[in-house]
Amino acid sequence: MDAYIGSKATLDRQVEVCEKYGSACVFPDPAMKAGLALGTFHLMPITGVRITPENGVDGWYIFGGEFSEDENFYQPVGQSHIAELLPQVLPYLALAPGYKFMIDNEGYEDVWYEPHTLE
């Protein structure tokens, strides 16, 4: 657990979220990328889904508002930049593949497991 994103408080919060929702803690690798829909973060809610990591992507895909099938919806972003771009999602990034989260700026939080996202 030497390499993680954020502070010790962030790490503690990630462990807390995983325990709360029954997920194994699968900490994001700072050397990997996530798929972020950069132009959507002004929209609510913020939704994240983690699929099985592959090809240098840790499995996280995060967007604001409504999902789009557009092939350019997500852009690859290094894990280390998420803290700058979207700090409110940091507590959820240790959730295991198959988990999703939805949050907003007013305190709404929902986390659930969808195993079909691993297929």
pLDDT of residue 4 exceeding 70, the answer is: no
Q: Report yes or no on 3 lying in a domain.
A: no
What is the model's pLDDT at position 80? 82
Q: Report yes or no on 1 lying in a domain.
A: no
Write out the residue range of the structural domain in which residue 60 sits: 8-118
**How far apart, in whole angstroms, are the C-alpha atoms of residue 71 and residue 69?**
6
Q: Report yes or no on 44 lying in a domain.
A: yes
Give the total number of structural domains in the chain: 1
Q: Report yes or no on 2 lying in a domain.
A: no
DSSP 62: E
Q: Which structure tokens are listed for 94?
A: 């240790």
* Closest-CA residue to 65 (of 50, 90, 47): 47
Q: Report yes or no on 98 lying in a domain.
A: yes
Q: Report yes or no on 64 lying in a domain.
A: yes
Over the stretch 70-119, which tens digit does the pLDDT of each residue have? 999 999 999 888 988 999 999 999 999 999 999 999 999 999 999 888 77
Q: Report yes or no on 33 lying in a domain.
A: yes
Q: What is the mean pLDDT of the chain?
A: 91
**How far apart, in whole angstroms, are the C-alpha atoms of residue 35 and residue 72?**
10
pLDDT of residue 2 exceeding 50, the answer is: no
What is the model's pLDDT at position 3? 47
Q: Report yes or no on 75 lying in a domain.
A: yes
